Amino acid sequence: MDLAALRRQHIIWAIQQNPTTITINRTEKIDAGGYFDEVCSEVGPFTVRIYQRSSRIPQEVSTLAGIKQVEAAWGLLAAHEAEIKADTNVLDEFEVDGLGKFQVLAVYPQIIQGQVVGYQADLEKVS
C-alpha cells in the first residue's frame, strides 16, 4: 500500500469517529459578459467531520441585510472525493441539525506524493 492510500484511510477513519452528512448549497458568480450572474446549485451529500478549533466568543457583524452573529472557531475534515470550494466567486454553505448554519471560509487540500488525500476547511458558524 502506498503512502497516499494509507493517509486516505486515516482520514476516513478520523471522519468515522464523529461523522456528519452535509449537502452544500453553492452560489457561484459567473462572468456573463459585462456583469456577474449568480448560479445556485447543490453539491453532495458528503460525509465529513465537523469540529471546534477553539472556543471563541461569537461576534456581531453588520451587513446590508442587518446584523448577524458569526463564530469562526470551526473546522471540517473531508475525504478526497469531497467537492468543497471557497474563493471570491464561490460561496459554499450548509446546515447541520443541532449545530446550525455554516459557511466555508477556506479549503486546504491535504497532499501526499502529489495526490489529494483529503481536505481541511475553515468554517464560520452563522446565525
Parse the chain into domains and list their residue ranges.
3-126
pLDDT digits (tens, 9 = 90+) for 36-90: 888 899 998 999 999 987 655 555 555 545 565 666 688 999 999 999 999 888 9
pTM of the model: 0.77
pLDDT digits (tens, 9 = 90+) for 16-33: 999 999 999 999 988 888
The CATH number fitting domain 3-126, selected from 2.60.40, 2.10.260, 3.30.70, 2.40.10: 2.40.10
Strands annotated E in the chain: 20-31, 36-52, 59-63, 66-79, 90-96, 100-112, 115-126
